[in-house]
Chains A and B, each alone.
Chain A
Amino acid sequence: MQNSDIITNLFRFVALVLLQALLLNHINFLGYINPYLYIIFILVFPFDGNKSLLIFLSFLLGLSIDIFSDSGGVHAAASVFIAYIRPLALKFSFGVSYEYNMIKLNKAPVTERIVYITIMVLLHHFILFIFEIFSLQHILLILKSTLFSGVFSTILILCTLLLFSRKN
């Protein structure tokens, strides 16, 4: 990674944790729906970056969110999981072009981008709510929360990407 990359990612990390803890955790749309924007850090982490580093950073990211929301290790678990599964999701959504390191997230076709983001968001939220609710009796609640929060997060992530994409 370049020096500038390190600084960008560090800044992004801190900004996302604060944004999530101070603002987004308190939206409670319709009573219980919150978007989890912070995983955008894992989504846009350089595709050719070090995978072990990403897994470790995701753990720290999730743990920071957990510290702010008193939730044990649920965000850490979900973040580590999608960081580990990310290469598979990339291969699935972008196909061959990913394997040749040709892909840039903001230059990829819109449908492939949406598929990638949706897969990652839904997996993250599913693990998150399984761990948070922690009881198979409430499987319907888990699925409902995953779906509603997932839609909210996906839309917010797409908007954020549009807002911050550099025009070349």
Chain B
Amino acid sequence: MQQIIFFFIRNKNFLLFALLFFISFILTVQSHSFHTSKFVSSANFFSGGIYSIRNNVTDYFRLGDENKNLIEENMRLRKQLEGFKNGEISVKIDSSLLPSRYMFSSARVINNSYSRSKNFITLNKGASDSLKADMGAITSKGIVGIINKTSKNYATVQSILNTNSQINAKLKKSNHFGSLVWNTKDPNVVQLIDVPRLAPVMVGDTIVTGGRSTIFPKGILIGIIKEFELGKDDNYYDLDILLFNDMTSIDHVYLIKNTEAEEIKELEKSVNDAE
């Protein structure tokens, strides 16, 4: 018995080190998967609060760019509105579609990272503003990521610049699907992999979200094709996509909630269970 106690006393530094290193390791492994609930996250009262204070100061330096973005978006929306006014007014609007199943809300980015291999964005709204995990985040220019954790007043978004992120996307022109991933090299370039070989791929084509998941609606802008090459087994294309968004300067985001997501998931689950 005494021997054991002596052993512990003699090696207490090593044992303490091993224990804490092990805890860190577990936390790290946990952070590499999307759905395990995370203990370490900037969506908490303390770090969220500090980031908000910082953001209140730095916001003023970005007002110019932010105004420009809003004007651009307004112009685009105004053009669409004019399109509806002229000529297309005779098209009868299907009123059953009008209350869309997607609900939008907005939030501000209070912390943004893009230089690591797993990047997260912290928002200034959380569960009390009815944000939930698995809601999509976009800007007026394109997609940003998916909410992965919320606290009462803050939320973290797993950015598309994260090696765990995998989002369903398609070619706007031909509806061929692929998955959007990131190879960590450039914060403005992501990769669309597994696009079938018979897809007519051209440099400059637009890529939009596919709408196959319950997170993003169909047709949200992502980027344009910058380069492409055949993958390893020659059956699929790997495309480099230049994002419309500048991921290094995001200020406001819109959050998308699919009001029918639960119903869809339940249905799919019951089908899977039945098999």
Name A residues whose Cβ lies closer than 8 Å to a Cβ of B. Answer: 18, 21-22, 25, 28, 31-34, 51-52, 55-56, 59, 62-63, 66-74, 76-77, 80-81, 83-84, 131-134, 138, 141
Give Cα distance in the complex from A141 to B184, angstroms.
10
Could you say which residues of chain A place their CB within 8 Å of the CB of B50? 18, 21-22, 68
Q: A-facing mask of B105-126, CB < 8 A → 1, else 0? A: 0000001011111101010000
B168 close to A (CB within 8 Å)? no
Residues 55-83 of B at the A interface (beta carbon under 8 Å): none
Report A22 CB to chain B, min CB distance, Å.
Answer: 5
Residues 1-17 of B at the A interface (beta carbon under 8 Å): 12-14, 16-17
The reply to whether B28 and A32 contact each other, CB–CB distance below 8 Å, is no
Ordered by A's residue number, 18 sampled pairs between the chains whose C-beta atoms are within 8 Å are: A28-B115, A56-B20, A68-B51, A70-B31, A70-B40, A70-B41, A70-B120, A70-B122, A71-B28, A72-B29, A72-B31, A73-B31, A74-B24, A77-B24, A81-B17, A84-B13, A131-B28, A141-B184
The reply to whether A80 and B25 contact each other, CB–CB distance below 8 Å, is no
Which of A25, A80, A132 is the one whose CB lies under 8 Å from B118? Answer: A132
The reply to whether A68 and B24 contact each other, CB–CB distance below 8 Å, is no
Give Cα distance in the complex from A76 to B121, angstroms.
21
Give Cα distance in the complex from A81 to B28, angstroms.
15
The reply to whether A74 and B28 contact each other, CB–CB distance below 8 Å, is yes
Report A111 CB to chain B, min CB distance, Å.
Answer: 29
Residues of B in contact with A, size category: 35 or more
Which of B32, B44, B118, B187 is the one whose CB lies under 8 Å from A67? Answer: B44
Report B59 CB to chain A, min CB distance, Å.
Answer: 14
Which of B16, B51, B114 is the one whose CB lies under 8 Å from A52? Answer: B16
Give Cα distance in the complex from A76 to B46, angstroms.
18
Interface centre among A56, A73, A81 (most CB of B within 10 A): A73
The reply to whether B17 and A72 contact each other, CB–CB distance below 8 Å, is no
SS class of chain A's interface: helix, strand, loop or mixed?
Answer: helix
Report A11 CB to chain B, min CB distance, Å.
Answer: 17
Report A55 CB to chain B, min CB distance, Å.
Answer: 5
Could you say which residues of chain A place their CB within 8 Å of the CB of B51? 68
The reply to whether A55 and B17 contact each other, CB–CB distance below 8 Å, is yes
Contact A51 to B13, CB < 8 A, known contacts A59-B20, A67-B40: yes
Give Cα distance in the complex from A22 to B51, angstroms.
8
Give Cα distance in the complex from A96 to B26, angstroms.
38
Report A14 CB to chain B, min CB distance, Å.
Answer: 11
Could you say which residues of chain A place their CB within 8 Å of the CB of B12? 52
Could you say which residues of chain A place their CB within 8 Å of the CB of B31? 70-74
B209 close to A (CB within 8 Å)? no
Known: A18-B50, A70-B42, A76-B27. 7 other contacts (CB 8 A): A52-B12, A52-B13, A63-B40, A68-B50, A84-B21, A132-B116, A133-B117
Report A39 CB to chain B, min CB distance, Å.
Answer: 15
Measured CB to CB, the nearest residue on chain A to B186 is: A31
Give Cα distance in the complex from A33 to B114, angstroms.
11
The reply to whether A72 and B115 contact each other, CB–CB distance below 8 Å, is no
Report B268 CB to chain A, min CB distance, Å.
Answer: 30
Could you say which residues of chain B place their CB within 8 Å of the CB of A63? 24, 40
Report B1 CB to chain A, min CB distance, Å.
Answer: 23
The reply to whether A77 and B28 contact each other, CB–CB distance below 8 Å, is yes
The reply to whether A72 and B42 contact each other, CB–CB distance below 8 Å, is no
Measured CB to CB, the nearest residue on chain B to A68 is: B47
The reply to whether B156 and A70 contact each other, CB–CB distance below 8 Å, is yes
Give Cα distance in the complex from A108 to B112, angstroms.
40
